[in-house]
Amino acid sequence: MEDVDDFGPEKIVEVYDPSVGMRGVLVIDNTALGPGKGGIRMTPTVGIHEVKRLARAMTWKCSLAGLPFGGAKSGIVANPRAMSPKRKAEIVKAFAKSIQELSPSRYICAPDMSMAEPEMRIIAKVNGKKSVTGKPKELGGLPHELGSTGWGTFHAVRVAAKFIGLPLKGATVAIEGFGNVGWFVAKFLCEAGAKLVAVSDSRGMIYNPGGIHFEELAAVKKEKRTVTKYLPGKIMPNDAMPGLKVDILVTAAVPDFISVRDVKRIKAKLIVEGSNIPMTASVERLLWKRGVTIVPDFVANAGGVISSYVEHRGGSEKKMFKLVKDIVSKNTLKVLKEAKKENITPREAALDMAKQRILKARKQS
């Protein structure tokens, strides 16, 4: 099968329930370290290839973070914007039932694109509390709305900026996406003294080289439902962001945001991947050759799965925030140091570390 290697995937399941028109896919990539962990996303275009790439990212993410989880991911093919809450609930329930034989024994899910606490509640009711994280607080959850992924991504930025000698205070920042990840990254970076100059969402990008006030932006997003209504600022297409003159670029939304066509026009000194698979490894290598420092996705955005681990163990919010900060900070520095020492990309350095842990677990099993 295409894209199969010594690490996985172990299982690919396509599911369909004609009674409600539910279609979905589950990829369990690797369970050497524990049950596969990964979110469920709902988009009209999600498919096997995308879910496989995301599941593999989870394998590396959980391994590098030192968690007792493997990698997995799932997707429901549907347009959440074109359906009622009742209809969405029916589809989520049908998907949960379709994977009961594998969850939670081999797969533990979590929120992802267009999936949040209400959907996790449904899954917990169908497959049990241990089958899902990111649940409502009353079900023992540590909801992703606490900002665990954004908190971790912020610390990846902080450590990486210091590593390359870039003062965070006054550094100009562009953030792709203003959802759960981008919102918190923007908040924490602004509190640290960075200068936010560009933010995007699904409707476009707002750009103001003079600076964007976070609290005002957050209020506009809540009221107007888009960052493009923020004033003052210039509305630009999202694909213009990679070419902006900024010190730091944080990806926090869609896959494949940066393509090979963007390589020559990127001016950022540092790119931190708060989103999953925002570019291919080959694009990262081209940027690395140009002197751009990149913190890979499974290093920078591990806060979500670390939070999931704390929730799975019944831990507190305080413990979660500390563990996310400690693990992401330590791994970011370790990866960047190893990459510099070996003259390889940060992704190559991080992959080697993650692979070694999995191989060691296999030998001991």
Q: CB under 8 Å to 335, separation ≥6 — which residues?
A: 295, 296, 299, 346, 349, 350, 353
Q: What is the DSSP string of 24-87?
A: EEEEEEE-SSSSEE--EEEESS--HHHHHHHHHHHHHHHHHTT-S-EEEEEEEE--GGGS-HHH
Task: Sort strands 22-30 and 70-77 into parallel, antiparallel or unpaired.
Answer: antiparallel
Structure tokens at 358: 């999995």
Closest by CA position to 37, among listed 135, 139, 105, 125? 105
Among 179, 215, 181, 221, smallest CA distance to 196 is for 215
* Residue (of 252, 236, 245, 234) closest to 204 by Cα position: 236
User: Which candidate in 37, 61, 73, 269 is catalytic?
Assistant: 73
What value, to the nearest 5°, has the Cα angle with vertex 338 and ends 335 and 341?
A: 150
- Bridge partners (DSSP) of residue 73 are 27
- Asked if 245 is an active-site residue, the reply is no
From CA 243, how far away is CA 165, in angstroms rounded? 22
Nearest to 355 by CA among 141, 103, 56, 148: 56
Catalogue the active-site residues.
73
